[in-house]
Amino acid sequence: MIILKRFYFRPIFYHYRTNTTTTTTTKTKLNTFNIEYDPIKQSIIYPQELNLNNKNYSTDSWTNVNENILSRIGLNLHQQKNHPLYHLTNRLRKYFYQFYDQKKSSPKFSIIDNLSPIVTTEQNFDSICIPINHVSRTKSMNYYINQNTLLRAHTSAHQVDLIRSGLNAFLCIGDVYRRDDIDPTHYPVFHQCEGVQLFTKEELFIGNKNVLGDKDNLEIFGPNEQRDATKQEGHTLEAVKLVEASLKKTITDLFKTLLPNTSILNSRWVDTTFPFTHPSWEYEIEIDGKWYELLGCGIMEHRVLENSGLNKDHIGWAFGLGLERIAMIMYGIPDIRLFWTNDSGFLSQFVFDDSTHSIQYKPISIYPQCINDLSMWMGKTKIDPSDFYDLVRAIGGDLIEQVILIDEFYNPKNQRYSQTYRIIYRSMDRTLTKNEINMIHKDIEYHCKQQFGVEIR
Ligand code: FA5
Ligand code: MG
């Protein structure tokens, strides 16, 4: 079933489970960020200012972050020694350091992995040409601190600043935040690595002299070039094809290094669109008959380079890959939640000095799933699934493996919508008792009634 994401937001009750079911009747301070819940108004009350990374941010009607999400800022799993994402970051560093700039006698790619995830909407959207009414800007899809500030939804938020600072080849690695589906390959906080390489006319054509022969007059830009499926307006096809070849070779060679067994896996490039690249592709690999998307990439929109202060003398490629997805395949990690565990049974398997060391994760043990459906009647307006996912995650924490909207219909007689969600519970480290799950499920039902005013069927 396709879940349509719409712009719709109601405050959500976040609280942290202990072993008892909580019935809140008075205003409750929920956490260290002074976020309160008012049961009478059935809404979250944010303080006037949120203090994050020692800086105060005013809150407003756009604020929708929660304690669970804010508590991840600064954890930087990719910098924690011996974490699987730390090893993967080291391997990316090693691969990109092999490209050497003879003129500067230094590696071609700079690696930036410590930028704050708190960014402006200008950085996350405007700077890379995401249109003002684009769906990726909605509150349904992002964690906003206020109308102008959010937790970055991708590392592309830093492209323009880094190019402006003078870099022409770099990786930017960090945590990113999204209100997304819940399943074993999606998590509301994950890590991305952005890669960018720019070329001048000389670098592009001289570097490829053996391919091109001694053709004169090769240019990146031509006066009458139109935008079509293969290129942007202004770009010559020769320039675009050379940049595309560089991008695709860089990525396929990277995965040959990271996943030496890829010869037995199929991979493919899928045409796609991004507001900041054209043409654009996704790179996918096949495992056990299923295709997994590892990254998005493309030829950078020239307007992004203009926003970075460059004239018509550069062309470049960019990619953004998900670290968890790759680490899951590299090490055979079955579930994205494991990256956040403190369980020594998991972490101890990654204690080794040489990050290129190849191991396969051995499950600590496998605990059974428990599936419970929740059906409810609402009014003329449907609940936005993202709001429901946040509520379930806030109450069930990491005991929630997956939430799926399995049924939705409108009853014209009583003018009400109905939705049924399937909630799959499973602990990473123990067998859950029926009683325990029933208590969490009842708690979710209770807060759904409070929060959304629904009637449980
Ligand atoms: C982007 O974020 C683009 N900024 C990538 C890009 C950069 C394209 C530069 C062109 C040029 P996308 O939303 O597809 O694209 O995410 C990129 C990758 O992040 C995905 O391929 C996937 O590997 C990973 N990813 C996306 N959502 C999640 C999630 N919820 N949990 C874990 N990994 C995710
Ligand atoms: Mg994608």
pLDDT digits (tens, 9 = 90+) for 115-155: 999 999 999 999 999 999 999 999 999 999 999 999 999 99
Regarding the beta carbon of 325 and ligand 1, being less than 6 Å apart is answered yes
The predicted model gives 322-338 an average pLDDT of 94
Measured from the alpha carbon of residue 283, the closest ligand is 1
Regarding the beta carbon of 294 and ligand 1, being less than 6 Å apart is answered yes
Q: Are residues 93 and 193 in the same domain?
A: yes
pLDDT reading at 336 higher than 70: yes
CB 317 within 8 A of CB 244: yes
Distance CA 347, CA 350 (A): 6
Q: Are residues 423 and 374 in the same domain?
A: yes
Ligand 1 midpoint to CA 16 (Å): 29
Distance CA 403, CA 183 (A): 7
Measured from the alpha carbon of residue 128, the closest ligand is 1
CB 279 within 8 A of CB 245: no
- Please give the share of the chain, as a percent, with pLDDT higher than 90: 73
Check which CATH number belongs to the domain holding 419 and give it: 3.30.70.380
Q: Are residues 116 and 161 in the same domain?
A: yes
Distance CA 451, CA 134 (A): 28
Q: Are residues 309 and 398 in the same domain?
A: no
**Report for 70-74, 206-210, 261-265: range of highest mean pLDDT:** 70-74
Listed residues 291, 321, 336: the one ending a domain: 336
Q: 5-14, 323-332, 347-356 — which is least confidently predicted?
A: 5-14
Residue 40 three-state SS: coil
Q: Minimal CA–CA distance to 68: which of 333, 400, 372?
A: 400
Domain of 205?
71-214+233-336
Regarding the beta carbon of 171 and ligand 1, being less than 6 Å apart is answered no
pTM here is 0.81
pLDDT, greater one: 130 or 398 = 130
Q: Minimal CA–CA distance to 182: which of 25, 385, 455, 28?
A: 385
Q: Read off the tokens for 170.
A: 């770099």
Integer CA distances (angstroms), 164 to 11, 247, 306, 412, in order: 38, 21, 10, 56
Listed residues 297, 315, 336: the one ending a domain: 336
Residue 92 lies in a domain: yes
pLDDT reading at 17 higher than 50: no
The predicted model gives 188-204 an average pLDDT of 96
Q: Minimal CA–CA distance to 128: which of 102, 92, 154?
A: 154
Q: Are residues 401 and 443 in the same domain?
A: yes
455-456 vs 370-377, strand pairing mode: antiparallel
Distance CA 398, CA 401 (A): 7
Contacts of 340 (CB under 8 A, 6+ apart): 77, 187, 398
Residue 35 lies in a domain: no
CB 77 within 8 A of CB 191: yes
Measured from the alpha carbon of residue 292, the closest ligand is 1
Ligand 2 midpoint to CA 332 (Å): 21
Residue 3 lies in a domain: no
pLDDT band at 3 (very low <50, low <70, confident <90, very high): very low
- CA Rg value for the chain: 24
Residue 445 lies in a domain: yes
Ligand 1 midpoint to CA 272 (Å): 12
The predicted model gives 53-72 an average pLDDT of 94
Distance CA 236, CA 218 (A): 9
Q: Are residues 412 and 332 in the same domain?
A: no
Q: Are residues 270 and 378 in the same domain?
A: no
Give the distance between the most distant pair of CA atoms in the chain.
80
Measured from the alpha carbon of residue 189, the closest ligand is 1
pLDDT tens digits, one per residue of 229-254: 999 999 999 999 999 999 999 999 99
Q: Are residues 331 and 373 in the same domain?
A: no
Q: What pLDDT shows up at residue 348? A: 85
Residue 5 lies in a domain: no
Check which CATH number belongs to the domain holding 291 and give it: 3.30.930.10
Distance CA 346, CA 336 (A): 13
pLDDT tens digits, one per residue of 275-318: 999 999 999 999 888 899 999 999 999 999 999 999 999 999 99
* Phi and psi, residue 405, nearest 5°: -80, 110
Residue 63 lies in a domain: no
pLDDT reading at 43 higher than 70: yes
Residue 396 lies in a domain: yes
Distance CA 439, CA 436 (A): 5
Q: Are residues 326 and 379 in the same domain?
A: no
Regarding the beta carbon of 319 and ligand 1, being less than 6 Å apart is answered yes
Ligand 1 midpoint to CA 296 (Å): 6
Q: Are residues 120 and 173 in the same domain?
A: yes
Q: 73-87, 129-143, 321-335, 340-354 — which is least confidently predicted?
A: 340-354
Q: Are residues 156 and 273 in the same domain?
A: yes
Q: 11-25, 107-121, 294-308 — which is least confidently predicted?
A: 11-25
* C-alpha dihedral sign at 105, 109, 111, 115: positive
Query: What one-character DSSP code corresponds to residue 26?
Result: S
- Domain count for the chain: 2
Residue 11 lies in a domain: no
pLDDT, greater one: 74 or 105 = 74
Residues 256-278 as b/e (b if ≥16 CB within 10 A, e otherwise) read eebbeebeeeebeeeeeebbbbb
With tokens 């020594």, the residue in question is 344
Ligand 1 midpoint to CA 384 (Å): 22
The predicted model gives 413-438 an average pLDDT of 91
pLDDT reading at 364 higher than 70: no
Mutate which of 5, 194, 325, 335 for ligand 1 pocket (most atoms within 8 A of beta carbon): 325
Q: Are residues 260 and 377 in the same domain?
A: no
Q: What pLDDT shows up at residue 16? A: 26
Q: What pLDDT shows up at residue 182? A: 80
The predicted model gives 321-330 an average pLDDT of 96
The predicted model gives 437-442 an average pLDDT of 95
Ligand 1 midpoint to CA 270 (Å): 14
